[in-house]
Structure 1
Amino acid sequence: MSSSMVEDDTDDELQLSSAALEALNSFLVEKDERQKRFEDLKATLEKEYEERQKIITMEDFEEDWQQSQFWYDSATAEMLAEEILDGAIEGTLVGIVSAPSVFVKIQELKAAERIPDSIKVRLLEFDKRFDLFPEFIHYDFQYPLRLPSELKGKFDRILIDPPFLSNDCQTKSALTARWLMKPWVAPTRAASTSHDSDGRDTAEQSPTRIIICTGQVVKELVEKLFRQAGVRATTLEIRHSKGLSNEFLCYSSFESKRIKWEG
């Protein structure tokens, strides 16, 4: 073998080593860039998550009395939230209709991990300020069935506060509740061993619950509209953050430690 051939082989080895080193350096640079992009993305997502986790309270929403907006005080909103959710199980679908102060309280309770995220809650509300919540569904009682068709017959529980005391508003609100809910069954009957359309034992499901918060003046009408669901006036006191001159009642389809039907 000639010395020139040995030199050529040595040169080739040196050239390959340089190429390999260059490739390695390029790989390391790309790796560092990818890591930086990941860290930037992580920081952005963490910031967005922190922003989403900021607690929104009803103090962020001024009442509009022209829309008949009267927020419950914090204690009442929390009590109603706990009652409508008590006994709910994974997959339970709860509708909060025209009662945003209860919905916002539920979000507070979820943020505090006092309510599991597996319980699904939707807010049906006319005021579009609340569309900042992904659970918001625009609702106008004047058009009681103008709602997404996929919601029909899907809700296990409903809490509703008809915005006006007129017979028209009360009747249309009841029509909305009936359309949204699964068959109206009083909780005492929901523990039977019958099966629903999905073949599940109803005893394993959270019972149907209905709460209506509205004036005493429409008591006879409310109990008539919701009679099939076993709704009756209760002795539970409902308080509003800025007071309310009308006598206000809580009507429900069930009793609990705090909710008792009128004698």
Structure 2
Amino acid sequence: MSCNSDDDDIPQLSIETFAVLQEFYKEQEERELMRKNVDSDTNIQENWQLSQFWYDHETIEKLTSIILKSVGHQGKIALISCPSIYPMLASKIGENGEVEIYEYDRRFSIYGNNFKFYDYNKPLEVPENRTSYYDLVIADPPFLSEECLSKTADTIKCIARNKIILCTGAVMAPIAEKLLNLKKTDFEPRHKNNLANEFGCFTNFDINVM
């Protein structure tokens, strides 16, 4: 008579396979949590002391459309100092796409690993594995000054692989061209709370074909 019980016939997972499954389920849970955070109305208000001015809905829709048509739903995208785009863009990106926020305001850490603390005064303090990583970088420097744009440009040049979108005051056009070779487009971003300054959208690619 065999001493083996019926349980011996049940297939057993190897330690390696079990570890892979655990990692898979962990990633699924994190992705689901991320989607819940995106889908929920977190209602993070502008902090004017941080020079935060959120885009209006139409501008967010337009920028999201430009970005996705430009790099596709599997693209790698970085948002520098423009977090109000994130919820809509993250909800529409594909399963293999990436949208990451570079932001000084730690309230946006609700987005987990997709949040990267960013201080424009330390422009090259970015993760080493993000050098020349993103298919598209979109930035909206918090202050209308050559210093702020220059430091933000250093970050952009460090992490961007290809396409760049810059949203900033129209008066910054000469500096945007000098630092990043960006041209002003016909699209004018608008904000929930109207700003007195004329705003512009600058790129290194043609958004009119988007």
Q: Same fold (TM over 0.5)?
A: yes
Paired amino acid for 1:142:
N
Q: Distance in 2 between matches of 1:56 and 1:86?
A: 25
Q: How many residues align?
A: 181
Q: Distance in 2 between matches of 1:119 and 1:51?
A: 14
Q: 1:187-226 counterparts in 2 under 5 A?
A: 208-226=162-180
2:45 aligns to what? 62
Provide, for residues 5-59 of structure 1, a one-character-per-residue CA deviation record: whole Å limited to 9, x for no partner. xxxxxxxxxxxxxxxxxxxxxxxxxxxxxxxxxxxxxxxx99x9589536134x6
Q: Distance in 2 between matches of 1:250 and 1:172?
A: 18
2:68 aligns to what? 85
- Where relative contact order (Cα < 8 A, 6+ residues apart) is larger, the structure is 2
User: How has the CA–CA distance of structure 1 residues 49 and 176 changed in structure 2, closer, same or farther, with 3 Å as cutoff?
Assistant: closer
Normalising by structure 1, what TM-score? 0.63
Q: Distance in 1 between matches of 2:34 and 2:133?
A: 31
Root-mean-square deviation (CA, aligned residues, Å) is 2.4
Paired amino acid for 1:244:
L
3-state SS, counterpart of residue 177 of structure 1: helix
1:154 aligns to what? 133
Deviation, structure 1 residue 256: 3.0
Provide, for residues 101-125 of structure 1, a one-character-per-residue CA deviation record: whole Å limited to 9, x for no partner. 1112213x33xxxx31211111111
1:253 aligns to what? 204
Q: Distance in 2 between matches of 1:254 and 1:80?
A: 14
1:200 aligns to what? none
Deviation, structure 1 residue 91: 4.9
Q: Distance in 2 between matches of 1:159 and 1:86?
A: 14
Q: 1:82-161 counterparts in 2 under 5 A?
A: 82-89=65-72, 91-107=74-90, 109-110=91-92, 115-134=93-112, 135-161=114-140
Deviation, structure 1 residue 85: 2.1
Provide, for residues 206-232 of structure 1, a one-character-per-residue CA deviation record: whole Å limited to 9, x for no partner. xx32110000111100111111xxx20
Choose 1 or 2 for highest CA Rg.
1
3-state SS, counterpart of residue 169 of structure 1: helix
8 A Cα contact 1:236 1:258, kept in partner? no
User: How has the CA–CA distance of structure 1 residues 53 and 221 changed in structure 2, closer, same or farther, with 3 Å as cutoff?
Assistant: same
Structure 2 gap segments, 5+ residues each? 1-27
Structure 1 gap segments, 5+ residues each? 1-44, 183-207
1:238 aligns to what? 189
Provide, for residues 70-93 of structure 1, a one-character-per-residue CA deviation record: whole Å limited to 9, x for no partner. 000011012111212214247521
8 A Cα contact 2:79 2:99, kept in partner? yes
8 A Cα contact 2:170 2:199, kept in partner? yes
User: How has the CA–CA distance of structure 1 residues 98 and 120 changed in structure 2, closer, same or farther, with 3 Å as cutoff?
Assistant: same
8 A Cα contact 2:74 2:95, kept in partner? no
4+ residue runs over 6 A deviation: none
Provide, for residues 129-179 of structure 1, a one-character-per-residue CA deviation record: whole Å limited to 9, x for no partner. 000102000000010011111111111110000110111000000000000
Paired amino acid for 1:96:
L
2:18 aligns to what? none
8 A Cα contact 2:80 2:139, kept in partner? yes
3-state SS, counterpart of residue 156 of structure 1: strand
Q: Distance in 1 between matches of 2:116 and 2:34?
A: 22
| More strand as a share of residues | 2
